[in-house]
A and B are shown apart, each in its own frame.
Chain A
Amino acid sequence: MNLRTKFLPLFLIPLALTAQDRYMTRTGHVEFHSSTPLEDIDAENDKVTSVWDAASGALEFSMLIKAFAFEKALMQEHFNEDYMESTTFPKATFKGKLSGIGADELAKAGTYIVSVEGTITLHGVEKSVKTEGTVTVDAHGAIQATSTFPIRPEDHGIRIPGLVRTKIAEAIEVKVRMDYRKM
């Protein structure tokens, strides 16, 4: 056995560890809720992709704006065409870091409070965000991450005409739920 063959596995160990620490979902859930005395607006997206590297804390989300489903077609059309301009800005993304949980916690069942900090890109406009969430590890090792936080449309350059301003909340409540699987 030459030196290269002998030591190659040692170089591969960090790569293997990195892969083992990565979790992913392709069916993450993001919903938003706008409540005003005139109208409630809800929409859900079950096609959110997310990768979480538990070793570094790096966390990313990507979702297609057109994948948000509304109960009413008219609301969905206004959302895509008039507000989100989803043909021009087809995706919303988050890139940041999740902290407050490590390999020890992931190895045992429990619910852990975590903090998430990063940048949301929505409607082509980046905005820093810092919020709290929970990561739940069940007895079988399944991992679910959840968080709820507000987004203000104006912060992302989303213009709402005065005529409908009273029908859309100034701060939209966003709920995130990710059931991660090991990559």
Chain B
Amino acid sequence: MIVGGVLVTAAATTYGVREYNRVPETAAERTEVASLTAIELLEEFLANEQAATTKYVGSKAQAVLVTGAIRAVDEVNGRVVTVVLETGNPDAGVSCEFALADFPADWRTGATVRLKGICQGYTGVGMIPGDVVLQRCVAME
């Protein structure tokens, strides 16, 4: 009885510690709900932001596969790299954030790439032009 209690306590403690220290997963560990181009993704948010948010951000863990040409690469704070994919709209892009360690060193402006990211929504509001934001991205072959 006592041994059983100790084992249950140990198991619960191990689970609690592991759960407390769990780090946010990358898109690689999530199931993709769609595969589309950066142009198509932006168009859906511009046409109906609420419907696109429901579809691509969702309320459960999910990710999207996006293909597009690199418009710009910007390293932020030495921790993350932001890749903006071309959309044909100079005021709006698809902004994809990579952890520095996950960013492919050979990606250059103009190259067509495919990536998997966690869609967080569309930033535009008021006089602010928007981007569709993808985070914890990983490169796809």
Contact = CB atoms under 8 A, between A and B. Distances in A.
The answer to whether A and B belong to the same complex is yes
B121 to A, nearest CB: 5
Interface residues of B, number: 33
Contact of B97 (A47, A50, A87): A47
A74 B120 contact: no
B97 A74 contact: no
A73 B61 CA distance: 12
Contact of B24 (A61, A73, A90): A73
**B interface secondary structure, majority:** mixed
**A interface secondary structure, majority:** strand
A93 B121 CA distance: 14
Interface of A: 24, 26-27, 29, 46-51, 53, 58, 60-64, 66-67, 69-74, 76, 87, 90-91, 93, 95
22 contacts: A26-B84, A26-B131, A46-B76, A46-B77, A46-B82, A47-B95, A47-B135, A49-B123, A49-B130, A51-B128, A58-B127, A61-B128, A62-B124, A62-B126, A62-B128, A63-B123, A64-B133, A66-B57, A69-B135, A73-B23, A87-B59, A91-B121
